[in-house]
């Protein structure tokens, strides 16, 4: 197995030294994304509601995955953290994640009291399989 590659794709905000947005493990053909939130490329939060934030997260996932030749269809495991979770949020949240995807990955949804910033309502953690 090769050493992991630590990548910061253009278009994704990150905090240098705090986290790396994308880690590619070529020998295992896996890519791990840091938890994605609704930040634009400048670190501005996009949206004040769950659905708007999830739509931005989906854009960020597309950007991160494209950097290693993947798309959302290559996601094999996701964990979705939701502040103030209510069952009626599920359809909208997953609709944003599933656009253009035919098979849902393994998934865990966790209702949480808070995330690292009081205005961040959703965070998505991803593992994807790099296509051969």
pLDDT in tens, 110-124: 999 999 999 999 999
Cβ atoms of 97 and 55 within 8 Å: the answer is: no
* Percentage of the chain lying above the pLDDT 70 cut: 99
Residues 6+ apart with CB under 8 A from 43: 13
Q: Taking 90 as the threshold, does the pLDDT of residue 2 lie above it?
A: no
pLDDT band at 26 (very low <50, low <70, confident <90, very high): confident
Tell which residue, 106, 113, 95, 123, has the closest CA to residue 19.
123
Based on its alpha-carbon atoms, the radius of gyration of the chain, rounded to whole angstroms, reads 14
The predicted structure's pLDDT at residue 14: 83
pLDDT in tens, 76-119: 999 999 999 999 999 999 999 998 888 899 999 999 999 999 99
Q: Looking at residue 62, which CATH number applies to its domain?
A: 3.30.1330.40
Q: How many domains does the chain have?
A: 1
Task: Give the domain extent around 33.
Answer: 5-129
């Amino acid at each position: 197995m090769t050493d992991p590659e630590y990548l910061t794709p253009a278009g994704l905000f990150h905090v240098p030294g705090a986290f790396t947005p994308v880690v590619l493990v070529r020998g295992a053909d896996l890519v791990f994304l840091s938890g994605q939130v609704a930040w634009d490329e400048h670190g501005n939060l996009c949206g004040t509601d769950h659905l708007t934030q999830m739509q931005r997260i989906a854009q960020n996932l597309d950007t991160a995955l494209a950097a290693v030749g993947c798309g959302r269809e290559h996601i094999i495991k996701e964990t979705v953290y939701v502040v103030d979770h209510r069952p009626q949020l599920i359809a909208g949240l997953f609709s944003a994640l599933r656009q253009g995807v035919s098979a849902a990955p393994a998934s865990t949804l966790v209702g949480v009291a808070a995330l690292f910033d009081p205005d961040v309502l959703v965070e998505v953690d991803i593992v994807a399989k790099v296509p051969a």
